[in-house]
Amino acid sequence: MSKPLNVAVIGYGFMGKAHANAYKKVNNFYPELEYRPNLSCLCARDADKAKSFADTWGFDSIETDWRKVIERDDIDVIDICSPNNTHHDLAIAAAEAGKWVLCEKPLSMDTAEAERMTAALEKSGQPNMVWFNYRRVPSIALARQLVEEGRTGKPFHYRATYLQDWTIAEDVPQGGQTLWRLDAAVAGSGVTGDLLAHSIDTAMWLNGPIVRVVADTETFVKQRVHQETGKSQAVSIDDACMFLARFANGSMGTFESTRYARGRKNYNTFELNGADGSLHFDLEDPQYLDFYEHKKPGSDQKVEDHLTGWRRIHTTNFEHPYMDHWWVPGCTIGYEHTFVNALADFLAGVESGKPAQPDFRSALQTQKVCDAVLASARSGQWTETGVESFEA
């Protein structure tokens, strides 16, 4: 049975485009889904730009005030693709109006906001999801499968990096479209909320809750011109952040993120070392998962020494996560497909009654780790995250 779903996308920037593309494609690549999203409304403050984007992507209407969108009875889903300081009010108003809510990461500016947002969604009982889309990279989903199959064994180490290089120049302004990430009043934090939130979500999905952290941050460029005021003002974000972590399962973690790693564009990597095997992933080479197998799961049989070695798994077989919905083995998928896969999981979760993760409660746990990291960087002390046991 076909169920139409009227979607309003808030924001026409980077994520507005990625999500609009996902809504258009999801039923083509996941034809078994009953829900049929329709691009009903695009909301952004600049009417001309909103109209131009809406025409390009085939939205039925535009609005320039998100409150008007939420008042509309013909809208079923609010999808928040606007900067971080808008997420809280939008999500709560949408939940109170009985809408389904999808929200970009990080869920909020801080944990207090995330708690209120989660409470509002749970009170409304409406479906919700946070777009930690990297879970839907087939290689990362395969990593989770291998951990669940017991192929890595008792975990000892988890190592994550998320490196970029686009803010090294001192004349990069802060504030305004795309550069709001450099303004803590809009972003909440710097690389911690923007990049490490992804690394933390992936880490807790693969290796369980992070219970305590100790962190150090740096702001390399202290003053930048603000795009909106034209005035030079203090930079309030963390340009770089490194932290040590302890997981509930006893393993140790290191996390490093910066926008000052010359040559690194979106270098999001992780490595997990367990007693029976290791996994390594690099988002700049996303179609591969590296796996070192030391011992077969469920047996004492060690892999013969002359056969050990890192294995590069090209995750394009029909047997790999998501790939039976795309092309034939050997043909890769890319960044935009992770949003299609995420949306398909979300809709399938609503249809089956088993909600897809990460929902708001799951993303709240990531927010707690981000806040603990920033608090630790200020105090110089190990800091408890307060992460609860949760369905990742």
Binding site for ligand NAD (CB under 6 A): 10-16, 43-45, 66, 81-84, 86, 104-105, 131, 133, 177-178, 194
Q: Which is nearer to ligand NAD, 133 or 199 (CB)?
A: 133
Q: What's the closest the beta carbon of residue 40 comes to ligand NAD, in angstroms?
A: 16
Beta bridge partners of 36: 4
Interatomic CA distance for residues 105 and 205, integer angstroms: 15
Q: What's the closest the beta carbon of residue 86 comes to ligand NAD, in angstroms?
A: 5
Q: What's the closest the beta carbon of residue 16 comes to ligand NAD, in angstroms?
A: 6
Q: What's the closest the beta carbon of residue 83 comes to ligand NAD, in angstroms?
A: 5
Is cis: bond before 4, omega within 30 of 0?
A: no
What's the length of the chain? 392
Q: Are 203 and 143 in contact (CB under 8 A)?
A: no
Q: Which is nearer to ligand NAD, 313 or 356 (CB)?
A: 356
Q: At residue 174, what are phi and psi to the nearest 5 degrees?
A: -120, 155
Q: Which is nearer to ligand NAD, 183 or 293 (CB)?
A: 183
Q: What's the closest the beta carbon of residue 156 comes to ligand NAD, in angstroms?
A: 29
Residue with tokens 């952290």: 213
Q: Which is nearer to ligand NAD, 15 or 279 (CB)?
A: 15
Nearest residue to ligand NAD, scored by beta-carbon proximity: 13
Residues 6+ apart with CB under 8 A from 376: 213, 214, 215, 243, 382, 383
Q: What's the closest the beta carbon of residue 205 comes to ligand NAD, in angstroms?
A: 14
Q: What's the closest the beta carbon of residue 195 comes to ligand NAD, in angstroms?
A: 9
Question: Over the range 326-355, which residues count as b (16 or more CB within 10 Å of their CB) and which as e?
Answer: beeeeeebeeebbbbbbbbbbbbbbeeeeb
Q: Which is nearer to ligand NAD, 133 or 174 (CB)?
A: 133
Tokens of 351: 């249809």
Q: What's the closest the beta carbon of residue 181 comes to ligand NAD, in angstroms?
A: 7
Q: What's the closest the beta carbon of residue 43 comes to ligand NAD, in angstroms?
A: 5
Q: Which is nearer to ligand NAD, 166 or 382 (CB)?
A: 166
> What one-letter code names the amino acid at 51?
K
Cβ neighbours around 382 below 10 Å, total: 13
Q: What's the closest the beta carbon of residue 12 comes to ligand NAD, in angstroms?
A: 4
Q: Which is nearer to ligand NAD, 12 or 322 (CB)?
A: 12
Residue with tokens 């896969």: 341
Q: Which is nearer to ligand NAD, 20 or 44 (CB)?
A: 44
Burial of 290 (0-12, 13-18, 19+ CB in 10 A): middle
Q: Which is nearer to ligand NAD, 30 or 134 (CB)?
A: 134
Q: What's the closest the beta carbon of residue 369 comes to ligand NAD, in angstroms?
A: 16
Interatomic CA distance for residues 156 and 2, integer angstroms: 47
Q: Which is nearer to ligand NAD, 59 or 291 (CB)?
A: 59
Q: Which is nearer to ligand NAD, 268 or 278 (CB)?
A: 268
